[in-house]
Amino acid sequence: MKASDALVRKMEELGVEVVFGIPGGANLPLYDSLYDSSIRSILVKHEQHAAHAAEGYARVKRRPGIALATSGPGATNLITGIVNAAMDSAPLVAITGQVVRSFMGTDAFQEADIVGMVLPHVKYATVVLDSSRIVKEFVNAYMCAATGRPGPTLIDLPRDVQQEDIGEVPIDEVAADPEFVRSPQDADEGSIALAADLIARANRICILAGGGVYFSDASDELLKLAEMVNAAVVCTTPGKISVCENHPNVLGVVGMHGRIESNTAIIDADLVICVGTRLSDRAIGPAAEFKKNRKIIHIDIDPSEVGKNVIPDVGIVGDAKKALNALISRLSTMSVRPKYPGWVEGLKELGRSFDDYMFSQIDGSRLSSYKVIKIIRDELPKSAIVTTGVGQHQMWAQLFFKVLEPGTFLTSAGLGTMGFGLPAAMGAKAAAPDRIVLNMDGDGSFLMTCQCLGTIVEYDFPVITVVFDNRALGMVRQWQDLFYKKRFKDVDIEDRTNLIKLAESFGVEGVFVESYEELRSVLRRAIRNDEAILIDVPIDKDEKVFPMVPPGRWLSDIILPPGFSAHADEKIASQAK
Amino acid sequence: MQMKRLRLKLSRQYEAIIKLLLMAKQGKIALREAHISAADSLIEATLLVEAPPAKIYWFIEKARSSPYIRSLEELG
């Protein structure tokens, strides 16, 4: 049997349904094996799309997505997507072709040391030099990506290794080596008891949910705990995928562009229970301030995360679902009563007043981003999956788009990869063809991966794209406005790119909308027909994302929209009391 | 700052050594000594590392969770 045939048979056995990639000289044997396979291969326009699409697929399915590339530039084009998956802990297996073994190390045509390049950012990467190990190495990489804390892996396959005859292989008997399948340890009972005691003594409890809650399928447990102790629930940007934001205890995203009530909840809390999050600066600000005046419980599957950025009062290493269940079970034997029962409702009221204020500022002279987002939410079914690019539109989305089902908000949080949204949406649609998938994008972000529209048409992945079009790199422009004395440099996009014609050139209908009614009408049609469409929404380049916490500052240094400060200060003061 | 001597067994591949050193680099762990030798099927590494205790803990846990690292022993 040819080695690549064996590999593809093992992929089928593991349930791989789809792969995203581009063939080239060094991975032709693998593509030849896919020819006779049940696995659907999606030919993308650039390997970065393959990696993001595989991540979108992985996030929806909670199982590894597969990205393929040839050697050299094919492989290096994957890197951004691989690092993106690492930063957001998404399971991804990249399979790259490599020049034949005899040419390796000679600077051969399209030779690049992809393993050396990705090694800092992957859980595992290796060059398979022995063809008899090709199936084993794939299983190892696949299971390594999927188990423990999810993340990317890569196997690099020289072309001659792929096409070598490896004889008859008992493929179904090839299993991952134990070091690649690390089951999470059970939460330590002593730590659970200590955490329960802290909870029992706390007055105002805030739960900070990260993306790990979703991958652990622990959303219900997290909300159960929140209800039990009347905790405010806030989330990180990747954690927005984990919770339903219409739950009475859930406030929304915290951090640099967090919602005012979420940041206030952290500021006011005397105990923060952090679950499945690496506590990045973007979410919590300076670690020393976060730790001041409050106790911290940190639950994470990755022991190296506990204490990395913030040293907690109690660290619990383990799977979030199991740890939360253990905590709930322990608390149910204790008398735990919330001491400030109106606290969460007060925070909710603060959030409502913020929304009311923001919407009262809309004068009708131009389209407002947050109202556009509200309309999108109103029109989408709750099961619809939303992806975003990176920039202002992403922050408006995290502030104003309410997630109503876990697993329905995919964004590039840790790496902040512009161009993530469209290919990730394609991957999501491949994973969930029966659900509506909508990509919210900025014009700068969209133009980085817009060729993906061609793939969407070719393979019938009807994705709706809404472009918040301010003809600027809006977030960078906002920083130059606020922190660089309005010295705008290379942020205004003065070209004449016509997004409608661009979309149409790929075979996607493009619509320029000039009113909320028009937007609503076009959205309704696209959703009803489940059709690919690009909706170009002109917005004002001076519109800013608020709230904003300046980089390196504590959450209380929040910059609020002009005119809201006095109102907000009053609210914060009353909450603190 | 804390000094710690660690003995590790790694899978016998370049990537294992490189990944170990990359983890030390990421954690800003100072490498005071490093002895690396190849045995039959594994690589043995003995490291003397220096860093704040929390960073040492991070490095040890990071290494322990890596598939490249077969065992890690703290020698004191």
pLDDT digits (tens, 9 = 90+) for A98-132: 999 999 999 999 999 999 999 999 999 999 999 99
Question: Which residues fall within 8 angstroms of residue A113, CB to CB, at 6 or more apart?
Answer: none
Give yes or no for a contact between A534 and A506, defined as CB atoms under 8 angstroms apart.
no
- Report the pLDDT value the prediction gives residue A566, as an integer from 0 to 100: 67
CB burial of residue A577 (10 Å; 0-12, 13-18, 19+): exposed
Cβ–Cβ below 8 Å for A126 and B65: no
Q: pLDDT at residue A167 above 70?
A: yes
Question: Which residues fall within 8 angstroms of residue B56, CB to CB, at 6 or more apart?
Answer: B2, B4, B29, B49
Nearest by Cα to A92 from A177, A10, A150, A27: A150
Cis check: omega of the bond before A547, within 30 degrees of 0: yes
A291 CB within 8 Å of a chain B CB: no
- Report the pLDDT value the prediction gives residue A528, as an integer from 0 to 100: 97
A185 CB within 8 Å of a chain B CB: no
* Average of per-residue pLDDT across A41-53: 98
Cβ–Cβ below 8 Å for B54 and A119: no
Return d(Cα A399, Cα A548) in angstroms, integer: 11
- Report the pLDDT value the prediction gives residue A364, as an integer from 0 to 100: 79
> How many residues are given for chain A?
577
Cβ–Cβ below 8 Å for A119 and B61: no
A133 CB within 8 Å of a chain B CB: no
Q: In A, residues 458-517, which contact B (CB 8 Å cutoff)?
A: none
Residues of B with CB under 8 A from a CB of A: 11, 13, 15, 18-19, 22, 26, 54, 57-59, 61-62, 64-70
- Report the pLDDT value the prediction gives residue B8, as an integer from 0 to 100: 97
CB burial of residue A204 (10 Å; 0-12, 13-18, 19+): buried
Selected for mutation to probe chain B from A126, A304, A308 (highest B CB count within 10 Å) is A304
Secondary structure tally for chain A: helices H, strands E:
25, 18
Strands (E), A222-293: 232-235, 250-253, 271-275
CB burial of residue A552 (10 Å; 0-12, 13-18, 19+): exposed
Cβ–Cβ below 8 Å for B65 and A303: yes
Write out chain B residues lying below 8 Å of A125, CB-based. Answer: 15
A553 CB within 8 Å of a chain B CB: no
Q: What residue of A is the nearest CA neighbor of B17?
A: A119
Q: pLDDT at residue A519 above 60?
A: yes
| Residues of chain B with confidence (pLDDT) below 70 | none
Give yes or no for a contact between A93 and A126, defined as CB atoms under 8 angstroms apart.
no
Percent of chain A's residues with pLDDT above 70: 98
- Report the pLDDT value the prediction gives residue A570, as an integer from 0 to 100: 62
Cα-flanking dihedrals φ and ψ of residue A249, to 5°? -95, -10
Cβ–Cβ below 8 Å for B70 and A179: yes
DSSP secondary structure code for residue A168 in this structure: -
Write out chain A residues lying below 8 Å of B26, CB-based. Answer: 120
Closest approach of chain B CAs to the CA of A113, in angstroms? 12
- Report the pLDDT value the prediction gives residue A572, as an integer from 0 to 100: 56
Classify the C-alpha dihedral A517-A247-A205-A305 as positive or negative. negative
**Ranges A465-474, A549-558, A566-575: which has the least confidence:** A566-575
Nearest by Cα to A404 from A246, A250, A259, A251: A246
Q: What residue of A is the nearest CA neighbor of B60?
A: A304
What torsion do the CA atoms of A419, A425, A426, A430 make, to the nearest 10 degrees? 150
- Report the pLDDT value the prediction gives residue A341, as an integer from 0 to 100: 81
- Report the pLDDT value the prediction gives residue A215, as an integer from 0 to 100: 96
Q: What residue of A is the nearest CA neighbor of B25?
A: A120
DSSP secondary structure code for residue A549 in this structure: P
Cβ–Cβ below 8 Å for B54 and A304: no
CA distances from A150 to A90, A182, A215, B56, B71 (A): 5, 11, 8, 23, 21
Q: What residue of B is the nearest CA neighbor of A147?
A: B65
Question: Which residues fall within 8 angstroms of residue A321, CB to CB, at 6 or more apart?
Answer: A216, A217, A218, A221
Nearest by Cα to A157 from A4, A317, A276: A4
Write out chain A residues lying below 8 Å of B13, CB-based. Answer: 126
- Report the pLDDT value the prediction gives residue A79, as an integer from 0 to 100: 98
> How many residues are given for chain B?
76
Return d(Cα A65, Cα A93) in angstroms, integer: 6
Strands (E), A210-313: 232-235, 250-253, 271-275, 295-300
Cβ–Cβ below 8 Å for B58 and A304: yes
Cβ–Cβ below 8 Å for B54 and A116: no
Q: What residue of A is the nearest CA neighbor of B21?
A: A120
Q: pLDDT at residue A568 above 80?
A: no
pLDDT in tens, A229-261: 999 999 999 999 999 999 999 999 999 999 999
* Average of per-residue pLDDT across A522-531: 97
- Measured CA angle at A323 (ends A142, B64), to 5 deg: 50
